[in-house]
C-alpha cells in the first residue's frame, strides 16, 4: 500500500518536472560532474516510489534538490510534514541535510536546529533534544520556545534543579510569571528531601518555593509533614487546619495526616473536637470528610463516622441496594453492621473510580496530581463534587 508520504514525494517529483525548474538549473551545464538532467532524475525518483522504496526516493530527492535559498522552505515544509505524520526518521534526515549545508545563514541554521530538536523530542530522544534546546536557549529567536521545551524535558526527567534554572531564565526574558511552576519544582525537591529524611534541606526548598509564591499549599503540606515527622505536632496541626481553611478540597491530603498526627500525640478526643468545630463552621465539609474517610479507610472517630453515615444515607443510588427504611428501625448493632458492609463496598468502588479531574483538559485520576499529565498544567485538578456511585455500581453488577 502506498503511504501518504509516497504521494507527497511523487507530487514533489512531478512538480519539479512540470515546472521545468531543475532543467533550467542543471540542463544546460557542460560540467560532467553536475547531476544529470531532471527528466532522468525525477524518473529515477518516481521509480523508487513505484517500487515502494520511500526512503531511497527521499534520499534521491535530497541529492537532486540541493538546499539553497530557493528550495530551503520546501525542505523545511517536507521535514515538518514528515514529523507531524510520525515519520520522525525522515524528518531528522531532512533537517540534518539542511544543517550540513556549509553556507547556511545563522537564522536558517537556528531554524533547522530547532526543527531537528523537535524531531528528537518526537522520537523520544530527550538527551539529544536537550542539547539542541540548550544551544538555542543561549541566544536565538527560538530562545523562549527552547526554554519552554527544556522545562518540559526536565519535568519528564524529574531534573528539578535544571527545570528551576530554565524556568528562571524564561521568566527573566520578561514574558509571563512562572512563580507557580517554579514553586512546584522546589516542592518536588522538598518532598524528595523529606522522603530521604533530610528535613533541613526540605525546609530550605519549601522556603524557596514560598519566596516566589508565598501561599503555595503544597509547600505548606510539606512543611506540615516535616513538622509531624519531627514531633512538632502543634505546628503540624496549625498548618493542616490552615490548608483546609484556604482550600477545602485539600482535605483529601490533609485529613489522613491530621488523624495520624492526633494519633501519635495520643489525643483522639482533641481530634474529634477539632473536626466537629470545622464541620460546624462549614457543614459542606461533611461529605468531603466522609469521602476521604471512606477512601482512606479511616474510622472509629465519632464525628468522622457520623459524616460517613450521613453520606451513605444521602446517596440515592444506595437506597436501591440497602433498605434504608428497615435500617432506620433496626437495632444499633444490626444498623452498624449493615452500614459497615456498605462502607467496605464503597471503599473498594471509590478507590477504583477516578476522583479528580483537570479543570483545563478534563484528564481524570484517582489521586490528586499536582501536575496534570495530559496538559502539563500545575494545580488544575479538583475533586468531582460527588462520586458517581450509580455508574460504579452498575459496572460492578454487570461484571
Ligand atoms: Zn489537564
pLDDT digits (tens, 9 = 90+) for 341-377: 777 877 777 777 788 899 999 999 888 899 999 999 9
The mean per-residue pLDDT over the stretch 108-124 comes to 96
Q: Same domain for 41 and 120?
A: yes
Beta bridge partners of 381: 358
Instruction: Among 250-264, 290-304, 309-323, name the one with the lowest average pLDDT.
Output: 309-323
- Interval between CA 384 and ligand 1 midpoint (Å): 14
CA distance 155 to 380: 16
Do 200 and 65 fall within a single domain? Answer: no
Q: How many CB atoms lie within 10 A of CB 160?
A: 22
Average pLDDT value for residue range 81-88: 89
Q: Closest by alpha carbon to 178, among 203, 155, 156?
A: 155
For the chain, the domain total comes to: 3
Q: Are residues 104 and 219 in the same domain?
A: no
Share of the chain above pLDDT 70, in %: 86
- In this prediction, residue 29 carries a pLDDT of 46
DSSP for 165-191, written as a single string? HHHHHHHHTTSS--HHHHHHHHHHHHH
C-alpha cell at 290: 466522609
**pLDDT, average across residues 8-27:** 64
Residue 54 counted as domain residue: yes
Range with the poorest average pLDDT among 26-40, 114-128, 374-388: 26-40
**Residue 395 belongs to some domain of the structure:** yes
| Distance from residue 240's CA to the centre of ligand 1 (Å) | 26
User: Of residues 23 and 78, which shows the higher confidence score?
Assistant: 78
What's the confidence (pLDDT) of residue 322? 65
- Does residue 275 belong to any structural domain of this protein? no
164 and 28 in a common domain: yes
pLDDT of 158 over the 70 cut: yes
C-alpha neighbours within 13 Å on the C-beta side of residue 26 = 18
Measured in angstroms, how far is the CA atom of residue 230 from the centroid of ligand 1? 35
Q: What string of DSSP letters covers 51-67?
A: TT-HHHHHHHHHHHS--
* Predicted TM-score (pTM) of this structure: 0.79
Same domain, 67 and 188: no
- Spacing, Cα 348 to ligand 1 middle (Å): 26
Rg (CA), the chain: 31
In a shared domain, residues 207 and 76: no
What distance in angstroms lies between residue 250's CA and the mean position of ligand 1's atoms?
18
Q: How many A from CA of 177 to the centre of ligand 1?
A: 19
User: Which DSSP string do the residues of 198-260 spell out, in sequence order?
Assistant: -HHHHHHHHHHHHHHSTT-HHHHHHHHHHHHHTT-HHHHHHHHHHHHHH-GGGHHHHHHHHHH
In a domain, residue 131? The reply is yes
Going by C-beta distance under 8 Å and a sequence separation of 6 or more, which residues neighbour residue 39?
A: 17, 23
C-alpha cell at 132: 539542541
What pLDDT digit, counting tens, does each position of 33-81 carry? Answer: 555 455 677 777 777 777 777 777 787 777 776 767 777 888 898 888 8
Distance 136 CA to ligand 1 centre (A): 28
- Measured in Å, residue 186 CA sits from the centre of ligand 1 at 21
Nearest to 293 by CA among 331, 338, 252: 252
Same-domain status, 47 and 187: no
Q: What is the 376 CA–ligand 1 centroid distance (Å)? A: 6
User: Within its chain, how far is the Cα of 94 from the centroid?
Assistant: 30
Mean pLDDT of all residues belonging to the chain:
84
Q: What contacts 24+ positions apart, CB below 8 Å, involve 66-70?
A: 66/101, 67/97, 67/98, 67/101, 67/104, 68/101
CA 78 to ligand 1 centroid distance, Å = 31
Residue 216: predicted pLDDT: 84
CA of 293 to the centre of ligand 1 (A): 26
The pLDDT value given to residue 291: 85
CATH of the domain at 152: 1.25.40.10
Amino acid at each position: 500500500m502506498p503511504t501518504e508520504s509516497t504521494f507527497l514525494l511523487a507530487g514533489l517529483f512531478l512538480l519539479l518536472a512540470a515546472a521545468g525548474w531543475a532543467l533550467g538549473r542543471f540542463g544546460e551545464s557542460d560540467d560532467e560532474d553536475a547531476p544529470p538532467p531532471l527528466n532522468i532524475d525525477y524518473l529515477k525518483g518516481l521509480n523508487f516510489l513505484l517500487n515502494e522504496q520511500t526512503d531511497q526516493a527521499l534520499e534521491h530527492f535530497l541529492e537532486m534538490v540541493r538546499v539553497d535559498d530557493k528550495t530551503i522552505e520546501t525542505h523545511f515544509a517536507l521535514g515538518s510534514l514528515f514529523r507531524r505524520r510520525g515519520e520522525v526518521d525522515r524528518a531528522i534526515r531532512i533537517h540534518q541535510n539542511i544543517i550540513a549545508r556549509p553556507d547556511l545563514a545563522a537564522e536558517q541554521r537556528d531554524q533547522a536546529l530547532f526543527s531537528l530538536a523537535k524531531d528528537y523530542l518526537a522520537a523520544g530522544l530527550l538527551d539529544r533534544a536537550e542539547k539542541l534546546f540548550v544551544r538555542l536557549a543561549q541566544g536565538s529567536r527560538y530562545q523562549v520556545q527552547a526554554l519552554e521545551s527544556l522545562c518540559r524535558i526536565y519535568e519528564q526527567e524529574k531534573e528539578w534543579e535544571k527545570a528551576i534554572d530554565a524556568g528562571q531564565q524564561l521568566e527573566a526574558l520578561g514574558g509571563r510569571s512562572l512563580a507557580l511552576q517554579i514553586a512546584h519544582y522546589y516542592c518536588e525537591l522538598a518532598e524528595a528531601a523529606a522522603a530521604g529524611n533530610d528535613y533541613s534541606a526540605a525546609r530550605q526548598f519549601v522556603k524557596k518555593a514560598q519566596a516566589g509564591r508565598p501561599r503555595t499549599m503544597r509547600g505548606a503540606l510539606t512543611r506540615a509533614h516535616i513538622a509531624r515527622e519531627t514531633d512538632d505536632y502543634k505546628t503540624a496541626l496549625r498548618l493542616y487546619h490552615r490548608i483546609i481553611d484556604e482550600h477545602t478540597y485539600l482535605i483529601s491530603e490533609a485529613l489522613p495526616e491530621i488523624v495520624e498526627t492526633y494519633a501519635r500525640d495520643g489525643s483522639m478526643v482533641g481530634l474529634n473536637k477539632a473536626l466537629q468545630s470545622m464541620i460546624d463552621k462549614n457543614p459542606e465539609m461533611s461529605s468531603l470528610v466522609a469521602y476521604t474517610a471512606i477512601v482512606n479507610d479511616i474510622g472509629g472517630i465519632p464525628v468522622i463516622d457520623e459524616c460517613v453515615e450521613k453520606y451513605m444515607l444521602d446517596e440515592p443510588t444506595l437506597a436501591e441496594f440497602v433498605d434504608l427504611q428497615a435500617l432506620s428501625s433496626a437495632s444499633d448493632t444490626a444498623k452498624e453492621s449493615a452500614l459497615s458492609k456498605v462502607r467496605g463496598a464503597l471503599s473498594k468502588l471509590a478507590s477504583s473510580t477516578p476522583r479528580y479531574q483537570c479543570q483545563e483538559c478534563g484528564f481524570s485520576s484517582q489521586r490528586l496530581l499536582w501536575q496534570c499529565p495530559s496538559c502539563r498544567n500545575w494545580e488544575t485538578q479538583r475533586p468531582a463534587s460527588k462520586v458517581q456511585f450509580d455508574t460504579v455500581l452498575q459496572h460492578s453488577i454487570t461484571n
